[in-house]
Amino acid sequence: MPELPEVETIRKGLLAKIKGKKIKDVEIKVPKLVNFDIAGFKKNVLNASIVNIRRRAKLVIIDLSNSNSLLIHLKLTGQLICQGEEEKSTRATFYFTDNTNLIFNDVRKFGYFKLIPTAKLEDFFKTQKFGPEPLEKEFTLDKFKEILNKKPKSKIKPFLMDQINIAGIGNIYADELLFEAKILPTRIIKTLKEDEIKNLYKSIKKILNKAIKYKGSSFDAYVDSSGDKGDFAPRVKVYRKTGQKCYRCDGIVKRIVLGGRGTHFCPKCQK
């Protein structure tokens, strides 16, 4: 599933490519993709212009000139590609008045669109109970400590991946930022020392920003808004490195299942 860096990369690409464009037509090939009937969906997007593109957690938010916002969740295999060619997995296509398009591909069909009045977005986000954005200035070290203190008996990796605690972190980056901080994914939060918490906080910022710099990780279906793969996957240190020598020491990367997710770490230098 695309995580914060992938969704942010897509957002930036869409902002540069389709902001200001007017929707001439839209084709929805899978009825369950939208949150009400296709005719009603089309009625509420046709002839609207795109005024902004934002992100919240793992959601792409397209603000329209008619005071509606389109929320897109890519789920496992969703792709948003500008000037893409339709294929077997194409589930929706937006056509603009300048004869360009935006296609939505989704092999697994788990992605969804929600059209919501822009004024009601914050109410919707409250129902989703999203945690703070880890790259926003409001996400301070003190705020991070406050969040950790709410669940002192939790294991740190599942905690980081829970969108109620912090928005946008998934399996890839939880593994990578814990490796960066030299903390075992199984550590109980209340056992973390002050300097470990500081290192973890810095690692969250560092790894997520680095992943955005390299336009995300293309281990599976993820591509950016141009249809290009991200370049962070070759730079990961532990994710999917089971049995390989640790990047940092002479340990061997191990894989366990934690919280239902494959978890990769070095048992020697992560404590």
Two tokens, residue 43: 């009625």
Topology at the third CATH level for domain 141-265: Helicase, Ruva Protein; domain 3 (1.10.8)
Res 165 pLDDT > 90: yes
Binning pLDDT at 50, 70 and 90, where does residue 54 land?
very high
Class of domain 4-128: alpha beta
Domain-by-domain residue ranges, the chain?
4-128, 141-265
Q: What is the pLDDT of residue 49?
A: 98
Q: Length of the chain, please?
A: 271
Binning pLDDT at 50, 70 and 90, where does residue 33 land?
very high
Predicted TM-score (pTM) of the model is: 0.96
Least confident of 34-38, 160-164, 211-215, 242-246: 34-38
Catalytic residue chosen out of the listed positions 11, 21, 55, 58: 58
Catalytic residue chosen out of the listed positions 54, 109, 202, 261: 261
Catalytic residue chosen out of the listed positions 2, 134, 158, 185: 2
Q: Is 2 one of the catalytic residues?
A: yes
Q: Is 122 one of the catalytic residues?
A: no
> 94 — phi, psi (to 5°)?
-100, 130
Q: Is 86 one of the catalytic residues?
A: no
Q: Is 31 one of the catalytic residues?
A: no
Give the model confidence (pLDDT) of 179-226 as tens digits. Answer: 999 999 999 999 999 999 999 999 999 999 999 999 999 998 999 999
- Name residues whose C-beta falls within 8 Å of residue 11's C-beta, 6 or more positions apart in sequence: 53, 54, 55, 60
Catalytic residue chosen out of the listed positions 3, 6, 8, 176: 3
Equal fold, 4-128 vs 141-265? no
Q: What is the pLDDT of residue 1?
A: 78
